[in-house]
Amino acid sequence: MNGQHYTFDVLGLLDGVFQIRDRQTGTVWTHLDGKAIRGPQTGERLAMVPMPQMTWIDWQALYPDTLVLSQDTPFIDRYRPVRIGVFNRNEALFGDERLKSNSLVVGVEVDGRFKGYPIDELQAVGGVTNDVLAELPVVAFYDAVARTGMAYSRVVNGEAIEFYNAAHRA
């Protein structure tokens, strides 16, 4: 933030959202939206970083120099299997009822407005949804083979274009 690098420690949960504290200022942040909720940086917000989900093979093709932490550590007994999109009664026990717990979404933010495009709904429409968020034409994609989704502006050379999945169009 503002050219300063921060190191974070997990502090705990607040309404099911991780709270993290930076070591440099002691400010407490939420990982979900990057907002500072207590401390000297209260009201500030960390920049969002796109976080694509993809297979390890695809990741390696894009970033061959990536290093992965080994699970062979003195803490191996504390690790638990993670099953993405599968309900875990120790997680996400509250919230709203619009989606099942641990449902995956492609999340988008435009000018402080947020929208989630549920993976199940993207798959049902062929993996592509054209939309408008905060007056910006956007497109959300989901690739079931790669198991990854992303969203982009639909404005190209000043013109909003419509996208579709040619494989699903007759």
28, 30, 31, 32: CA torsion to nearest 10? -170
The residue that leads in pLDDT, 37 or 149, is 37
Q: Running DSSP on this structure, what letter comes out for residue 1?
A: -
Q: Identify the pLDDT of residue 152.
A: 94
Q: Identify the pLDDT of residue 90.
A: 61
Cα separation, 160 vs 153, in Å, equals: 8
Tens digit of each residue's pLDDT (9 = 90 or more) over 83-128: 665 666 665 555 567 887 677 889 899 998 999 999 999 999 999 9
Whole-prediction pTM value? 0.66
Q: Identify the pLDDT of residue 94.
A: 57
Measured CA to CA in angstroms, residue 13 lies from 17, 33, 34, 56, 84 at distances of 5, 14, 14, 29, 19
Q: Where are the domains of the chain?
A: 1-47, 56-168
